[in-house]
Structure 1
Amino acid sequence: MKHLAAVLVGTGALLAGGLVAAPSASAATSCLGSSCNGLNPGSTTCANDARTVAEGTGPVSAVELRYSPSCRAAWGRFKISAPSGSKIVIKNSQGKQYTTYGSGHFFSVMVNDKDVTAWACGTWKAQGSDNVDCTSSY
């Protein structure tokens, strides 16, 4: 019994002293790969480690492809301030595809990017004509 009490007291001292950290609840991944399909990256932990992995290749580079290594998911984002009625289509090489409508610097929902490739295309109107910008795949 003395040994158990000593272990508990010692562990408490280590935690209080910051030598042993308790796992953070936010460290857990919200989703992984295909379980991220259709989810809003802003409502998950996926946005925490996201990086831009591809940019639009059109005359106006308006769209970027974002990727989360921890979630293995991708989504599109408008770099420019898109007018109302603009859309981002995110798809992957498995044929999964989602369309998100919005305005401003908005982003799409996510698509699985685990062991497949994904890319994004943005469409918007400017000066009466339709504009399209697509990223390369990642």
Structure 2
Amino acid sequence: MPLKIRLARGGSKKRPYYQIIVADARSPRDGRFLEKVGSWNPMLPKDSEKRVELNADLIKSWIAKGAQPTDRVLRFMAEAGLAERATRSNLDKGKPGKKAQERAAEKAQKAEDAAAAAAEASAAE
């Protein structure tokens, strides 16, 4: 049974509140879970101590049993010092695609050819 430590949404419309739970990965987001290990209230200010509450002992025991945290929960755990999260950097995302790079190279080549032709014409005069 693949276990996940993930968020389950609660609260009312436009007033979210999340429970950090341990559940089977195949169960629905707000469905059946095994244990509640914390909570997250995004409506509170970021410097509030009550914004993210984690039960460190329960989380460590579930990780020892093979539960995998989702990315958001892993961020909370890293802030609390319970886990190590590798920083991600997607620098290639902002680069243009292959076709756009080819078009830019063609355009640069045409501009270079036009400049060479203009220089040749002015030298011939």
TM class by smaller structure = under 0.3
Bigger fraction of residues in helix? 2
Bigger fraction of residues in strand? 1
Question: Could you tell me the TM-score, scaled by structure 2's length?
Answer: 0.28
Q: Whose radius of gyration is greater, 1 or 2? A: 2
Which structure carries more relative contact order (alpha carbon 8 Å, separation 6+)?
Answer: 1
